[in-house]
Amino acid sequence: MLLFFCKTIARLPLSWVHRLGAFFGWVSYLSDHKSNRIALENIKQSGLAASEAHAKQLVKTSRIEAGKAILETFFIWGNPTAKLLPLIQQVHGWQHITEAQAQGKGLIFLTPHLGCFEITSIYYGERAPITVLYRPPKLQWLSELVVKGRQKGKVEMAPANASGVKKLLQALKSGQAIGILPDQIPRQGEGEWADFFGKPAYTMGLASKLASKADAVIIMAFGERLPDGKGFNIHLTQVEDISTPALLNQAIERQVAQCPEQYLWQYNRFKQRRYAMHKLEKAQPGQAEP
């Protein structure tokens, strides 16, 4: 059923996909009050909204954009690269890539849950090898769909386990690129507490560790979704230092501030994992979140 849905969405023009996605996001906004509450709390915590009314408007807008993101994912997975590349209208910051390649350095692309994060690796993978970390779904057939949809051109997938991390490090040491979603909540024991928009969030340590082991150039990558299905603009920003999870979160904050309406605010970044909370309580007695 999902494979049929993916193929059906892939046949539509992107403008139709985004219209359907906007409708889906609007219905979700009207019905899923829990996600609205999480989004509103996160937006207020970020300080990016000028007022209460602005924060509530951002909730609605971001939920609609999230609906577009879901359907455009199936659109991207179901289409060949030749059909996707013409949708990219502009690329800002490509000079960071050419400079790194000229020096023979590897690249760490950090792509938060902002805009269309599927399109950035596809664009780069048409030009040079890139290994992208992903968390395999529990269902085997769904995992195969994800890998097949993302593995286009010179894009290789690496599962989020020991062998996958080894694959990432080998790619970096070979002067190639890797891609990571840096704002995913890590599994128990794989992260550290660091402030994200002024509130402790359990943050992955992998990106910081890889950066410390390889002399790589760090790039924040963001696929801006253009209105009316006109495609995407890719923004590439070099980051000087992510040696700690705190610095990593600061880089993500700056990226989100560029286009807050396209950030996945309903993603519960401040989710409290029991093991992680125990670590926070030991590090900061009496200061943990209730």
The reply to whether 199 falls in a domain is yes
> What pLDDT digit, counting tens, does each position of 90-116 carry?
999 999 999 999 999 999 999 999 999
The reply to whether 25 falls in a domain is no
Closest C-alpha to 35, from 61, 3, 59, 68: 59
In the block, residue with structure tokens 């269902």: 139
The pLDDT assigned to 266 comes to: 96
> How many residues in the chain?
290
Neighbour order of strands in the sheet with 177-180: 88-92, 232-239, 217-225, 107-110, 177-180, 130-134, 155-159
The pLDDT assigned to 289 comes to: 38
The pLDDT assigned to 282 comes to: 56
The reply to whether 207 falls in a domain is yes
Tokens representing residue 235 in the block: 């923004």
Four-residue CA torsion sign, 200, 210, 137, 28: positive
The reply to whether 118 falls in a domain is yes
The answer to whether 187 touches 162, Cβ cutoff 8 Å, is no
Closest C-alpha to 71, from 32, 3, 22, 141: 22
Rounded to 5°, angle at Cα 64 from 207 and 7: 80
The reply to whether 10 falls in a domain is no
> What pLDDT digit, counting tens, does each position of 235-281 carry?
999 999 999 999 999 999 999 999 999 999 999 988 765 445 455 55
Closest C-alpha to 268, from 81, 40, 74, 68: 40
Cβ density class 31-67: b for 16+ within 10 Å, e for less: eeeebbebbbbbbbbbebbeeeeebbebbbbbbbbbb
What predicted TM-score, i.e. pTM, was given to this entire model?
A: 0.90
Residue segments in the chain with a per-residue pLDDT below the cut of 50 = 274-275, 277, 285-290
The pLDDT assigned to 47 comes to: 97
Tokens representing residue 113 in the block: 């849950």
The reply to whether 131 falls in a domain is yes
Cβ density class 120-158: b for 16+ within 10 Å, e for less: bbbbbbbeebbbbbbebeeeeeebebbbebbbbbbbbbb
The pLDDT assigned to 172 comes to: 94
Rounded CA separation 194/208 (Å):
12
SS3 192: strand
The pLDDT assigned to 270 comes to: 86
Which range of residues forms the domain containing residue 157?
A: 82-283
Rounded CA separation 146/77 (Å):
8
The pLDDT assigned to 87 comes to: 97
The reply to whether 60 falls in a domain is no
Rounded CA separation 34/93 (Å):
37
SS3 125: helix
| Phi–psi pair at 216, nearest 5 degrees | -110, 160
* Count of domains for the chain: 1
The reply to whether 224 falls in a domain is yes
The pLDDT assigned to 273 comes to: 53
Rounded CA separation 236/259 (Å):
14
